[in-house]
Structure 1
């Protein structure tokens, strides 16, 4: 318990610094103290709760969870949205805005951005400020989805992003998944596809979604690339999610299945060489997919919500 005189001194110093905008040197001169003493008093004022600092984020974040995620998974950065609603569709645009703000901070002229498909990546691209220009080269990092899912397809997203940023786009003229392993090898050998994939592999930034293998959410199932029975077989074999169409288990191991060999796009191993790989995903249903995705080592920046973040950290302790 502070005595009255010390409490008053701490409050006085804090008021002079935070409310009157005096420098620490000015305060030291007026009160006959050393600058070091003033610094220590300001620090103590915060520790004792005399000073409480509130940061009014336009989008409220959870710095504590961000720190925990970075320390636990060795991330370069984490962006955790404090959700005010359990409604995912209502919260997703805010998550997209959070990711867009991050992209606007890191993108520079003449850099290359590799783009994968997904609803979350769509929201991030949609949220980028109309006036932001970086002349970024945008490379489609994975093949395309059927026409029924064109709004969130990687080709559509790459085009929209390039238009917003004032840059060029490199299209990958291929389906996301070939009919067979042999057909996939033929597609990958085509000169144009090889060139676009090479540009994606050496990108400065990759924008990713994290797919869920739950039949209620799976994009691979909705696109018709796998059947409900095949999806159930994958789940029974330990698969939990996909990044760039590559299926993995809870330990982050690339699932040894034919589907991964049929995917046309950057691989998990290739994503590890891209300096910034920003993955966006939210909600409890995606927690296991997010954890598996983080454990692949292919993601070094995560944008998620507080509910998913807590569940991911809890799962990591138990599995």
Structure 2
């Protein structure tokens, strides 16, 4: 390739890639067809004159995220960078909060679950659109981690109306649960479930360390559910390893129903770290949610197992 041809390649490449001039307009300037301009641009790339680099901001592995999204047929998947797999709640909470700031509008009704990672999320909601915020599960976990605590903080950030649920997520029997679901103090909250347009939920693995539900039901019942195949849960909706529902707790839940959750147009699950791979796989295959925020280590394990 001689100096004249190189000069033409550089000039045309600069006009197109730097100045943003279309192939048609470059062709008109130089008396060339747009197809000829296209071939010149291709030659410039092949000769190394033009190098196209896509540089994504740090924090998310975008290629891994897209691979995970396609593998599970999700609306969105975000694989978050985390150097230490035992400390993923902070990074996951930050990205989940930034995602809500991006996608929530004033027309939304936002449903909130409980969980330690969701508590981390609340510190990254500055500037979220003003919308109604609904507590979609009863209380579980330590003070500050309950759905009531998290819903309150989210509603303070949004400035919208808040619908709280001052009741445990799981109670002793179905009669108690039904009494709470029909209590006049909670009617507006349960009525709001039909209006939820976006929800963010925690993903728990079936152990005391990785879910808040076992502490509520005790060791004996936890072991019995494990023996029946339970590997994970979200909002006390139990799942086996293939994403099939295990119904043992449903009648005792004080929370949004499975059918109501499935009717929410956009449900984002947040969960990661060691020990949650099987649980996240189960929930992604269950159809209970259509988006996930997880860490890169867990995402890679998910992609290897399918």
Which TM-score tier does this pair reach, normalised by the shorter chain? Answer: 0.7 to 0.9
8 Å CA contact 1:113–1:200 kept in 2: the answer is no
Q: Among residues 176, 180, 205, which one is paired with 1:183 in the alignment?
A: 176
Q: Secondary structure of 1:151's match?
A: coil
Q: Does residue 1:141 correspond to 2:136, yes or no?
A: yes
Which residue, out of 113, 117, 128, partners 2:114? 117
TM-score (norm 2): 0.88
Say whether the 8 Å CA contact 2:140–2:212 is kept in structure 1.
Answer: no
Residues 71-125 of structure 1 show CA distances to partners (whole Å, capped at 9, x for unaligned) of: 2222111112233x12432x43222222222212211114210100012212222
- Report the CA distance shift for 1:47/1:156 in structure 2 as closer, same or farther (over 3 A): farther
**Shift of the alpha carbon at 1:248?**
1.0
- After TM superposition, the structure 1 = structure 2 runs for residues 191-270 of structure 1, keeping only pairs within 5 Å, are 191-221=184-214, 224-257=215-248, 259-270=249-260
Q: CA separation in 2, counterparts of 1:48 and 1:77?
A: 37
Task: Give RMSD over aligned pairs.
Answer: 2.6
Q: Deviations over 1:116-140 (max 9, x none)?
A: 00122122221122xx152210000
| Contact residue 24 and residue 39 of structure 1 kept, 8 A | no
Structure 2: 5+ residue stretches without partners: none
* CA offsets 1:276-298 (integer angstroms, 9 cap, x no match): 10111112411111111112211
Instruction: Rate the CA distance shift 1:112–1:4 in 2: closer, same or farther, 3 A.
Output: farther
User: Taking structure 1 as reference, are residues 313 and 269 closer, same or farther at Cα in structure 2, changes over 3 Å only?
Assistant: farther
Q: Does 1:54 align with 2:49?
A: no
Is contact 2:140–2:216 with CA below 8 Å preserved after alignment? no
Deviation at 1:252, TM superposition (A): 1.5
Q: 2-side partners of 1:60 and 1:48: how far apart?
A: 33
For structure 1, the residue ranges without an aligned partner over 5 or more in a row are: none
Residue-by-residue CA offset, 1:230-278 (whole Å, 9 max, x unaligned): 3232222211111112111112221131x23211101333211111101
State how far apart, in whole Å, the 1-side matches of 2:144 and 2:38 are: 54
User: How far apart are 1:66 and its partner, in Å?
Assistant: 2.3
Contact conserved, 1:162 with 1:169, CA < 8 A, in 2?
yes
Number of residue-to-residue matches in the alignment: 303
Q: Is the 8 A contact 1:269 1:298 kept in 2?
A: no
